[in-house]
């Protein structure tokens, strides 16, 4: 009996050590991938600084306003593709995640990446179900001209200079969009920003 208990104890210890090792290895691998993503975006930013802009948006409705104030102003405006109830719900869900830190692979308010943020908000606010990654999300819906983009449309970028979609955000108004950026977390950004203007690929309407 004593010998059996000893063997079981040793097996338990071995299992715990193995699990701890797996967990440590997984975290190390994730951190390495996050670092590679940051470095790739930095190289991409340097490259795209040399490209020409695709479009400049003009508007003064949101000048000098905080992200929260921008969302409040948007609630009072009317957009052709959203009812007032849908608008309120979308803005409330976006505000709920504002300032959440960026985390590659993250899916919660403790940390979230760009595609999970878009997937979560669009589902909770509008019932639109999207795939998990930005690349897969870019295959959903109908592509639209940037001149026709409206609140709730998705906009896609090649921020990592990979030749394909690597980032996504939700368009708001006057060139503004909300996203989970690797440096900012969930925040409102502008397509007038050189980096986003030059890495922009296309827009999609998914509802």
Instruction: List the catalytic residues.
Output: 114, 167, 179
Report the distance separating Cα 109 and Cα 86, nearest Å: 22
- Report phi then psi at 34, rounded to 5: -65, -40
Q: Tokens representing 59?
A: 């508007």
Report the distance separating Cα 158 and Cα 167, nearest Å: 6
**Which residue is associated with the tokens 């505000």?**
95
Report the distance separating Cα 20 and Cα 79, nearest Å: 52
Q: How far is CA 184 from CA 58, 102, 138, 179, 188, in A?
A: 23, 7, 22, 9, 9
- Report phi then psi at 143, rounded to 5: -75, 140
Extended strands (E) in 89-173 = 107-108, 111-112, 142-144, 154-157, 167-171
């Amino acid at each position: 009996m004593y010998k059996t208990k000893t063997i079981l104890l040793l097996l338990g210890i071995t299992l715990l050590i193995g699990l701890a090792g797996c967990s440590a290895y997984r975290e190390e691998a994730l951190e390495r991938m996050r670092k590679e993503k940051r470095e790739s975006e930095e190289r991409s930013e340097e490259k795209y600084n040399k490209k020409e802009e695709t479009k400049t948006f003009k508007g003064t409705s949101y000048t000098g306003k905080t992200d929260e104030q921008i969302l409040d102003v948007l609630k009072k405006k009317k957009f052709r593709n959203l009812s007032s109830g849908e608008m309120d719900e979308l803005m409330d869900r976006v505000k709920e995640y504002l300032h959440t830190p960026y985390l590659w692979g993250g899916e919660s308010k403790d940390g979230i990446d760009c595609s999970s943020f878009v997937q979560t908000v669009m589902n909770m606010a509008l019932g639109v179900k999207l795939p998990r990654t930005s690349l897969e999300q870019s295959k959903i819906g109908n592509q639209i001209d940037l001149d026709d983009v409206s609140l709730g449309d998705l906009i896609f970028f090649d921020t990592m200079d990979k030749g394909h979609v690597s980032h996504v955000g939700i368009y708001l108004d006057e060139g503004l969009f909300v996203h989970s950026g690797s440096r900012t977390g969930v925040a409102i950004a502008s397509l007038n920003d050189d980096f986003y203007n030059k890495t922009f690929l296309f827009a999609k309407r998914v509802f």
